[in-house]
Structure 1
């Protein structure tokens, strides 16, 4: 519809103002979203070595940032909620023809949406950072939807607090209280109420059932909308509807308990390279690392060619290896032996794998013969990176330490000087007694 001047010239009618769009584009909300994005991004970047390269680790680390993102969103919503009080325009804002609920949502929704978008963008960037280094797992987006809703709900609850609490300190105090509350709740390891915590800790081998994020979203969003309606709706009784939904979702979470999670199938699968003896097996979640692990152990497997009584394979399992297996050095937690899909120290990794082959028991009084045999085999297959340091310390020590060093050096030299077949026979006899404290069957060096 357009107006017409007295001269008959049409004049376009002015569009009705859209406060929601104005708040979303030019108000405080974009800065709140940028703050969440920057904060979560910095936290993730600072711990990148612990998650970049593993999809499950990325999902777990992104999820735990809710511990910071939700209180920050609540503080942003609280600051926005107290804006009219700070400007002293409450009475003027109250003269607007729109309903109190519409006015509330026009101010609160942009902050909620922008903070949720900031968190979602940070999580998306983390997944992109992992994509290049992923080693065999698949993305784990299951928790992302629920966590995004949690951040938006925190902003809405914060807005209600900002309207109710008449102090500028409400926002920082709310952030501190939210962080402390979520942190304390995350420390709980017992009780069904711990499943109501939106910042609950997750394992890298657990996957939520499909309805867990839905229930968490309904639980948190229901509480937020109940608070909004109780504060701003003309008929406050309508707050009972989202409150009932929140209670129902909370009951589902608490009653299901540990049934909210299932084991990741790949966590129990092994991918093996059987071209070597022993074979090399890694967890299927890190299948892409098998070639470099095989390469790191190639010096050991090459020297063990033709040797009998060896374990059938190295396996990467959480539980103790069986008699026919040896435990492969652990990849996890990421950030130590593995960073961004690469072994940080292949030599250290090979030495630990050698120790697993030797399967040294806890002998209270190990014999000198056994100690010399263990040291000689370790040095021949894959010496410890710290061996030279300890040898130098013994060389500078007292007479007993120097004598022990001379015996070890002599045993190492004797094993290295053997002929190929003689050494294979000796190693076969040695590995026949691995895992015991008695080495009488091992020829002396």
Structure 2
């Protein structure tokens, strides 16, 4: 333990850990909105940032690995009675301990940000993804130690750092996908939907490969001859074979898999019912009043929906939720603090379309007509979606101008006549009939 303490104080281990924490935590806090939605997206974001941390650990190990050559004590140590493997244990332990703590500290900085907002914690998956991240850093450091001893040139560490970035970057895109899942520590970590996870079988296969890399680094570090160093390649080959043998081939498991529990709906006890996915349960209280404001506007029409559900479809996977009677689906957006983003937009998205979902089957719908009718229900002048609806960056300016003209025509009528016209628009939408002239006739 005293030798390990010396290594912790005087080796590159503490410096490597410090750089790792700065790089990892800095990357996290540059864009907290990417991972503020919950525990799993945080764990995956930190794994994604191994793109920075893994090469740094590899380079730090290589720098430490050339220490004996740099200080010219190799021959002196070779005369001691202690086997080289025994002498290297404190170095290996120091690098492993400090980098493991560094990874956990990066994780802790993220947890401190979401601890008051994120409610859904898939403990096993979160722990597995985190442990594999720790193993990835240790394997990088140990492999760097072995290569640094094998090639003790001053340029080895910086070159390995650059090579490490390239390896991690390109390993994500290896084809087929199951091979990338087995060898890339960042595969599957880019978040495309809030219910995304990493299957534990994929993590297990990756752990086998990372452990093989670590063993190879260890053998290179303790090897006393070129024959032994050649044998050090065997764990890498066996690890690759084992990892590719156990990694799943199912595309649904490999390609941004969905955690069904995270996508389950959590609803209010009273009516009108408002529901959100379990992973967004913390925003239900904030969503409920604005959702009910939109439902109150819709309730001016007969037979309108009586519930608001979060739209849990993962559109980037080509999935769409079929329309459901009595339910309006709206997206739930999370801000960088993990709370409900753009609450005012929820009201508009509920009333937009007059409670009839866009399913792509009806080509007779008119956006200016529907916008004018929706804003009449809200009692305000129509406005462009650009700058209002997140992600909307372009719109024909004539669209909103036409909606305003139709809305002004509705305002000129009596409330009963205007309401009748809006009801007619909704009935035409439900029947997939042309709505273009329904408000124009009213406006004349």
TM-score bracket, normalised by the shorter chain, equals 0.7 to 0.9
Aligned in 2, Cα 1:239/1:389: closer, same or farther, shift over 3 Å?
A: closer
Q: Using the TM superposition, give the Cα deviation of residue 158 of structure 1 relative to its aligned residue in structure 2, in angstroms.
A: 0.4
C-alpha separation between the residues in 2 aligned to 1:134 and 1:403?
Answer: 42
**Partner of residue 345, structure 2:** 348
Could you say which residue in structure 1 is the equivalent of 2:265?
A: 270
Alpha-carbon distance between aligned partners in 1 of 2:120 and 2:18, rounded to the nearest angstrom: 33
User: Please, what TM-score do these two structures have when normalized by structure 1?
Assistant: 0.78
Partner Cα separation in structure 2 for residue 59 and residue 426 of structure 1: 52
Q: Distance in 2 between matches of 1:282 and 1:372?
A: 30
- Equivalent pair of 1:379/1:412 in contact (CA under 8 Å): yes
Task: Confirm or deny: 8 A CA contact 1:271 1:281 kept in the other structure.
Answer: yes
- Between stretches 153-162 and 248-257, larger displacement belongs to 248-257
Aligned to 1:60: 44
Aligned to 2:15: 31
In 2 relative to 1, CA 289–414 (structure 1 residues): closer, same or farther, beyond 3 Å?
A: farther
Matched, 1:183 2:169: yes
For residues 330-363 of structure 1, the C-alpha deviation after alignment (integer angstroms, 9 at most, x for no partner) is: 235x4xxx33232332222322232253546698
What residue number does 1:285 align with?
Answer: 279
* Compared CA separation, residues 406 and 81, structure 1 to 2 (3 A): closer
Distance change in 2, residues 1:296/1:312 (3 Å): closer
How high is the TM-score relative to the length of structure 2? 0.79
Partner of 2:373: 376
Q: Which runs of 5+ in 1 are unaligned?
A: 1-16, 391-399
The question of 1:232 aligning with 2:222 is answered yes
8 Å contact 2:146–2:219 — kept in the other structure?
no
Q: Which runs of 5+ in 2 are unaligned?
A: 314-319, 388-397
In structure 1, C-alpha distance between the alignment counterparts of 2:288 and 2:217, rounded to whole Å: 58
Looking at structure 2, the residues matched to 167 and 208 of structure 1 have their Cα atoms a distance apart, in angstroms, of 39
Structure 1 residues 405 and 223: CA distance shift in structure 2, 3 A: closer
- Kindly indicate whether residue 200 of structure 2 is the aligned counterpart of residue 199 of structure 1: no
- Tell me the CA shift for residue 227 of structure 1: 3.8
- Matched with 1:13 is none
Residue of structure 1 equivalent to 2:208: 218
Report what 2:65 is aligned to.
81
Q: Counterparts of 1:325-340 in structure 2 under 5 Å? A: 328-331=329-332, 334=334, 338-340=335-337
Query: What's the CA shift for 1:412?
Result: 4.2
Cα distance in 1 for residues equivalent to 2:106 and 2:401: 60
Work out whether residues 33 and 336 of structure 2, in 8 Å CA contact, stay in contact via their aligned partners in 1: yes
Q: Mean Cα displacement is larger for which, 354-363 or 189-198?
A: 354-363
The equivalent of 1:408 in structure 2 is 406
Alpha-carbon offset, residue 242 of structure 1? 4.7
The aligned residue for residue 119 of structure 1 is 103
Shift of 1:49: 1.7
Secondary structure of 1:282 counterpart: strand
Partner of 2:429: 434
**Secondary structure at the counterpart of residue 444 of structure 1:** helix
- Contact 2:274–2:288 (CA under 8 A) maintained in structure 1: yes
Write out per-residue CA displacement over residues 41-87 of structure 1, whole angstroms, 9 at most, x where no aligned residue: 11111121221241221122122122221111111101111122223
1:294-333 matches, cutoff 5 A: 294-305=288-299, 307-315=301-309, 316-318=311-313, 319-324=320-325, 328-331=329-332
Distance in 2, Cα, partners of 1:64 & 1:372: 45
Moved more, 88-97 or 50-59: 88-97
Aligned residues: 410
The structure having more radius of gyration, on CA atoms, is 1
Change in 2 beyond 3 A, CA 1:58/1:429: same
Q: Distance in 2 between matches of 1:243 and 1:310?
A: 62
How far did residue 423 of structure 1 move? 5.9
Question: What secondary structure, in the 3-state scheme, does the structure 1 residue paired with 2:87 have?
Answer: helix
- Alignment RMSD, CA only? 3.7
Deviation for aligned residue 1:18? 4.2
**Match for residue 69 of structure 1 among 30, 35, 53:** 53
